[in-house]
Structure 1
Amino acid sequence: MSRFSVVLTLIASFCFANAIWAQASAEPPFDSLVWQDEFNGDLLDYSKWEIEVNAFGGGNHELQIYTDRSKNVRVENGSLILEAHRDHAGVSGTEREYSSGRVRTKRRGDWKYGRVEVRAKLPRGAGIWPAIWMLPTEETYGGWAASGEIDIMEMRGQQPETVLGTLHYGPAWPNNVHTGDSYTLPQGSFADDYHTFAVDWSKGKIEWRVDGHLYQTQTKWNSSAAGFPAPFDQSFHLLLNLAVGGGFVGPVNQETKFPQQMLVDYVRVYQ
């Protein structure tokens, strides 16, 4: 082999090695389990979760009140149960037609990059809105949605065979924007059995999976306060909730029966 050929071979090997290293750096394998809750036992682990109490729902013209009653939030038979009722519950002098549950890991589980994986069985019915999502622990780039929001899974109860994955970003509301896609089961609905919902979140790239099936990749977003990959370059925490009504799903109708349950088998975070 000539000296020139040797040089070309070395250059090609160097470039290939750098390409592999760059790919590995940008897309970690996320094979180290750093946080989990299998919901064993009969009590919620308050070192990992906070139950949110909110007399005015979660915004978006939702109809429920969020309480910390075991009727709405509990651990039972190996699952976290978020349960919605039509019971005219009251908190701090405010009564609403529906009650439900919402939990979060804020300052108990906060991560920058990794795989967040949740196995859950979802409810169904017009006006029912289960969600698995993430918010920034610190609003580094400003109020919602300037600091970002990662929706791992949302579902309209009247379309129980389809889930959505969405990013919210850009300027603060009402000038924010969102981008996303949906996944439809080939047969059956998400109310029939448990399914696994996950995002793989690395620098400049977020992938969505259902039962291991990759259905969406986003690599383009923006921030009004900083350059790419802001705002998705900060620590986020996880939220699980079951909402009733609101602009995303529309009204409840007479065919929607209560109580409604969102069952969560486990939450696992890998980095």
Structure 2
Amino acid sequence: MKKLSKIIGLIAVLAFFGSCEKDDPTIGDIIAPTNIVVTTEIVGQDADNPFGDGTGIINFSARANNALSYKFVTPGGQQMSASGNAAITFTNVGINSYQVAVVAIGTGGVTSSVTVDVEVLVTYEPPADLLEKLVGDGSKTWRIKSEKKGHFGLGPVDGNVPVEYFGVQPEEKAGSGMYTDRYIFDRDGTFTHITDSTNDDPTYNPEGTVFGRENLINELGGVGGGTQQEADVLNYPLNDYTENWGLIAPGGVETLTLTGKGFIGYYVGGNHQYRIFDRSVSNELLITTNDGNGEFSWWFIITSQEPGEGEVDEPFSSVYNDLVWEDTFDVDGAPDPDKWTYDLGTGDNGWGNNEKQSYTNNPDNVKIEDGILKITAKAENGSYTSSRIKTDGIYSFTYGRVEVRAKLPSGGGTWPAIWMLGQNYQTDIWPASGEIDVMEHVGNNQNTILSALHFPGNYGGNAVTQSTTLPTASTEFHNYSVEWTPEFIKFLVDDKVFHTFANDVSTPFNADFFLILNVAMGGNLGGAIDPNFTASTLEIDYVKVYQ
């Protein structure tokens, strides 16, 4: 019966598209498109795989005389395309046949159409935990997590660094028509977009507004309107609607696909596919999609909790659980020379960052006392001393989990760091060697913990960074850690992930790195030093490496 209803619906659609319209003198001659030519390419199709590689993706290309745009109508929905090119994803597992109506649209909306029969293989079955996260008990509702930094932003096409070009601050896009949207993924494959979640009480009201990219947003087929703000269109009128959703995994990458005009957050056209970049955070998804202009990759953080609802974080699960190296600083005195060595002096130019301290190995600056390593920065007669210890040439490793339990110094100008440097730094000069900053903190921004990655193209002030808030950084011990794998690098505070970076063979983060602990003063990041500063200490309970 479902198949029959879809066929009847398709016939009705085609009958409508084949109807004629009278000329409208305000738009000139109305000419129906002619000579529609459609080509199809099943992704991964070859002699051994006649129905494709199992992703279910078919690339369509349509051309017609006098056509202004095109529409592709499938049993699951429809997709607009100004260029005539469309990548359509089918999600029913197995080899299935479909009839696709390709509609050429001319002046005044007059149309011509043809139908195309396609047959494609789908082998991907989504993991149960991802389905449960999206759907829940059938009543789970998602929204843009507007209270979180970087919940919306952009970067290069197919980029792997979230909001690499630009990310918004919390609530920055309030009033745009995005934050009141809600999204529901039903178990039957229906995607419901509520375009205004605030106007349904006491009675249902389908009216709402959305947020999107200029020109592209007109693909939604709303009544027009909205407010143009540079390349954005705010509060574009659009009623609630339903489409279909599915999960695919092209190239092994979990991807959420929406049919027709279905979208999340900010309308950018394109193929309506959202790569699931990170789903490790409870009640959250970090997703990204390329726009229809081929200009940017757009990033979104969505959550299934309403503002103010208490969140229960899923405990972080590491893939590395064998302890391979540690220092618990149990013996008072100097750091163990079998594990640590020193950087000494001022460096060639303030250690490359215009830092003001001179590093020493004096007990006043570095010692173990009562089971705690203490690195102390001190003001001494108008200058500053501190210490930097490292495992350079003693211990280095590739991949693993580093965990450091520490209490941070305070005071304007202090700059403590827990970090790692590529062991090949003497031959592959920084940034080619790579740098992983597990934790950085500056006293001039007391409650903020930073992570950073430095490598060619992204280093110094252009490093890949992220931050999280920690009000007790200098009054309590906390766990600072990094999970480093061939596929990703995740930064955590107290076992909560706040920064994820997609690692691959193109980065330097696939070779041996060594550990560094230090407290700098001033410099490019540390900033102005408080004239009343006397001394402050980085205290470390332990350093552990798991593989």
Q: CA-to-partner distance for each residue in 1:33-75, whole Å, 9 max, x for gaps? A: 0000000011321101002212334220000000111111111
- Matched position secondary structure for 2:380: coil
Deviation of residue 139 (structure 1)? 3.2
2:332 aligns with: 42
- Matched position secondary structure for 2:463: strand
What is the alpha-carbon distance in structure 2 between the residues aligned to residue 81 and residue 249 of structure 1?
Answer: 20
Q: CA-to-partner distance for each residue in 1:204-261, whole Å, 9 max, x for gaps? A: 310000001111100057xxxxxx3431011000100000010112121234x32110
8 Å CA contact 1:146–1:169 kept in 2: the answer is yes
Q: Which amino acid aligns with 1:180?
A: T
Q: CA-to-partner distance for each residue in 1:187-209, whole Å, 9 max, x for gaps? A: x3300111110000000310000
8 Å CA contact 2:453–2:459 kept in 1: the answer is no
Runs of 4+ in 1 over 6 A off after TM superposition: 12-16
What is the alpha-carbon distance in structure 1 between the residues aligned to residue 380 and residue 545 of structure 2?
Answer: 35
What is the alpha-carbon distance in structure 1 between the residues aligned to residue 545 and residue 385 of structure 2?
Answer: 29
Taking structure 1 as the reference length, the TM-score comes to: 0.80
What is the alpha-carbon distance in structure 2 between the residues aligned to residue 30 and residue 173 of structure 1?
Answer: 28
What is the alpha-carbon distance in structure 2 between the residues aligned to residue 269 and residue 229 of structure 1?
Answer: 24
Unaligned 5+ segments in structure 1 are: 1-7, 89-95, 222-227
8 Å CA contact 1:28–1:202 kept in 2: the answer is no
**What pairs with 1:246-261 in structure 2 (closer than 5 Å)?**
246-255=523-532, 257-261=533-537
Distance 1:138 1:220, change over 3 A: closer
The yes-or-no answer on 1:169 pairing with 2:455 is yes
What is the alpha-carbon distance in structure 1 between the residues aligned to residue 423 and residue 429 of structure 2?
Answer: 12
Q: Which amino acid aligns with 2:362?
A: R
Q: Which amino acid aligns with 2:342?
A: I
1:134 aligns with: 420
8 Å CA contact 1:110–1:235 kept in 2: the answer is yes
**What pairs with 1:95-110 in structure 2 (closer than 5 Å)?**
97-110=383-396
Distance 1:137 1:220, change over 3 A: closer
What is the alpha-carbon distance in structure 2 between the residues aligned to residue 33 and residue 177 of structure 1?
Answer: 34
Deviation of residue 122 (structure 1)? 0.3
1:53 aligns with: 344
Deviation of residue 173 (structure 1)? 7.4
8 Å CA contact 1:144–1:173 kept in 2: the answer is no
2:511 aligns with: 234
1:225 aligns with: none
Q: Which has the larger radius of gyration?
A: 2
The yes-or-no answer on 1:31 pairing with 2:321 is yes
What is the alpha-carbon distance in structure 1 between the residues aligned to residue 501 and residue 414 of structure 2?
Answer: 27
Q: Identity over aligned residues, as a percent? A: 37
The yes-or-no answer on 1:197 pairing with 2:480 is yes
Distance 1:169 1:243, change over 3 A: same
Q: Which amino acid aligns with 1:182?
A: S
Distance 1:173 1:41, change over 3 A: closer
- Matched position secondary structure for 1:99: strand
**What pairs with 1:61-210 in structure 2 (closer than 5 Å)?**
61-88=354-381, 97-139=383-425, 142-170=428-456, 177-185=462-470, 188-210=471-493
Distance 1:13 1:161, change over 3 A: closer
Distance 1:163 1:113, change over 3 A: same
Q: Which amino acid aligns with 1:63?
A: K
Distance 1:128 1:15, change over 3 A: closer
- Matched position secondary structure for 1:111: coil
What is the alpha-carbon distance in structure 1 between the residues aligned to residue 527 and residue 124 of structure 2?
Answer: 58
RMSD (Å), alpha carbons: 2.8
- Matched position secondary structure for 1:158: helix
Distance 1:45 1:158, change over 3 A: same
Q: CA-to-partner distance for each residue in 1:164-196, whole Å, 9 max, x for gaps? A: 00100115978x9411100102xx330011111
Counting matched residue pairs gives 238
1:264 aligns with: 540
Deviation of residue 86 (structure 1)? 1.1
Unaligned 5+ segments in structure 2 are: 1-93, 95-122, 128-248, 254-316
8 Å CA contact 1:143–1:172 kept in 2: the answer is no
Distance 1:155 1:205, change over 3 A: same
Moved more, 206-215 or 44-53: 44-53
What is the alpha-carbon distance in structure 2 between the residues aligned to residue 240 and residue 145 of structure 1?
Answer: 19
What is the alpha-carbon distance in structure 2 between the residues aligned to residue 148 and residue 269 of structure 1?
Answer: 19
8 Å CA contact 2:520–2:526 kept in 1: the answer is no
Q: Which amino acid aligns with 2:541?
A: D
Distance 1:235 1:220, change over 3 A: closer
Deviation of residue 142 (structure 1)? 2.5
What is the alpha-carbon distance in structure 2 between the residues aligned to residue 113 and residue 212 of structure 1?
Answer: 18
- Matched position secondary structure for 2:523: coil
Q: Which amino acid aligns with 1:201?
A: W
Q: Higher relative contact order by CA 8 Å / sep ≥ 6: 1 or 2? A: 1
